[in-house]
Amino acid sequence: MHLVLGLLIFSFCVTSAFIVPFIDMLYRLRFQRQKQKTTDAFGDRATIFDTYHAHKAGVPVGGGILIILVTSLIYALVYPAMRGLGITTTNVYPLIPELVILFFSFWSFGLIGLYDDIKKFFGFKESKFFGLRMRHKLMLQLGSALITGSMMYFWLGINFLHLPFLGQVYLGPAFIAYAAFVIVSFANAVNITDGLDGLAGGVLLFCLFGLWVLSSSILDTTLSIFIALIIGSLIAFLYFNIYPARIFMGDVGALALGAVLAVMGLLLGKTIALVIIGGIFVAEIASSLIQLTSKRFRHKKVFPAAPFHLLLQYIGWEEPKIVMRAWMTGIILTAIGVWLAMI
């Protein structure tokens, strides 16, 4: 544990050293949130969003790029060094397949988000949306998620999920579709939640701590180190992301971290517990889906605004109040989810 904690601190220090020059670089590249009129999934003006978020125009977007790079580079350097020095590590699954699965999901969803960010913030508006059309984005995500689920099923033999109080439920080949659904859902849930300063990053931090506890309890060093490196980098990022934010995560970070969060839950066999641990994300995407479904089939809204954090802004809650209460809720949900996962 002391080694993994040391790597968490090292990741924090590396990210802290680079984040200010990185923010300056984003300014020079003009990789910033633009002042523009947003639309929802039906092309209607998202006037409530514009009202509460117009002041954030000009803030650099792309903090997820630094998190991905720092985590990947440190892992690539440290893990081989550990094995070369004879430091004992333990694994639940074969090392190389597990690493390929983790980093494939991390990078593939990150690249999908990066492409969308680039189109969005550099003014390529040949499509209805700022970046990729929704169906194209979902197709890319689904393809990546199906590949990840297939690797888990065929390479690692994972085909189960753990139900608290009931034990293991084996899904067979259906696990691949189940895994893809979980990965795509969490990737988009985190992306939807990333709308307020520090909201998605803070809730992610607590979720990762919960999964870190679970991975440590089964002595999966490969996964524990990966989580620790993300946590360290995410803490440094959050220092500059809390209200008022100096940098945003962007789709590149939200999609990558959301997808890999789901992959971790699947590797641990604890996706039911993950739904509890990530309850804030579940509530955010559920509110958006309810709103979109009602507009499509009933042609009217269920909520004055969606997702849920935007509804709270609409009824008068201040942004820091929403974020802090989401963090407190995230802490208790993580405690409940970890407790259920260990039953």
30-88, pLDDT tens digit by residue?
Answer: 888 766 555 554 445 456 666 777 777 789 999 999 999 999 999 999 988 887 777 77
Q: Residue range 172-179: average pLDDT?
A: 96
The yes-or-no verdict on residue 129 having pLDDT over 50 is: no
pLDDT band per the 50, 70, 90 thresholds, residue 122: low
Query: What is the pLDDT, as a whole number, of residue 118?
Result: 85
HEC per residue, the chain: CHHHHHHHHHHHHHHHHHHHHHHHHHHHHCCECCCCCCECCCCCECHHHHHHHHHHCCCEECHHHHHHHHHHHHHHHHHHHHHHCCCCCCCCCCHHHHHHHHHHHHHHHHHHHHHHHHHHHCCCCCCCCCCCCHHHHHHHHHHHHHHHHHHHHHHCCCCEEEECCCEEEECCCHHHHHHHHHHHHHHHHHHHHCCCCCHHHHHHHHHHHHHHHHHHHCCCHHHHHHHHHHHHHHHHHHHHHCCCCCCECHHHHHHHHHHHHHHHHHHHCCHHHHHHHCHHHHHHHHHHHHHHHHHHHCCCCCCCCCCHHHHHHHCCCCHHHHHHHHHHHHHHHHHHHHHHHCC
Query: What is the pLDDT, as a whole number, of residue 37?
Result: 54
Token pair in block for residue 137: 């984005």
pLDDT band per the 50, 70, 90 thresholds, residue 21: very high
Quick check: 237 and 19 in contact, CB under 8 A?
Answer: yes
The yes-or-no verdict on residue 130 having pLDDT over 50 is: no
Query: What is the pLDDT, as a whole number, of residue 127?
Result: 47
Query: What is the pLDDT, as a whole number, of residue 42?
Result: 44
191-211, pLDDT tens digit by residue?
Answer: 999 999 999 999 999 999 999
pLDDT band per the 50, 70, 90 thresholds, residue 128: very low
Question: Mean pLDDT over all residues of the chain?
Answer: 89
Calculated CA dihedral for residues 12, 18, 24, 26, nearest 10 degrees:
-80
Query: What is the pLDDT, as a whole number, of residue 86?
Result: 76
Rounded to whole angstroms, the Cα distance separating 37 from 45 reads: 7
- Domain boundaries of the chain, sorted by first residue: 2-341
> Rounded to 5 degrees, what angle do the CA atoms 259, 261, 265 make?
115
Beta-bridged to residue 162, according to DSSP, are 168
> Among 83-92, 306-315, 329-338, where is mean pLDDT lowest?
83-92
How many percent of the chain have pLDDT more than 90? Answer: 69
Q: Single out the residue of 278, 144, 282 nearest to residue 208, CA to CA.
A: 278
Query: What is the pLDDT, as a whole number, of residue 161?
Result: 85
pLDDT band per the 50, 70, 90 thresholds, residue 326: very high
Rounded to whole angstroms, the Cα distance separating 28 from 50 reads: 25
> Among 173-177, 185-189, 301-305, 320-324, where is mean pLDDT lowest?
301-305
Model confidence, pTM: 0.92
The yes-or-no verdict on residue 343 having pLDDT over 90 is: no
Q: Residue range 167-187: average pLDDT?
A: 94
Token pair in block for residue 56: 């954030």
The yes-or-no verdict on residue 164 having pLDDT over 50 is: yes
274-284, pLDDT tens digit by residue?
Answer: 999 999 999 99
Q: Single out the residue of 139, 186, 203, 149 nearest to residue 286, CA to CA.
A: 186
The yes-or-no verdict on residue 8 having pLDDT over 60 is: yes
How many percent of the chain have pLDDT more than 70? Answer: 91
Higher-pLDDT residue of 269 and 167 is 269
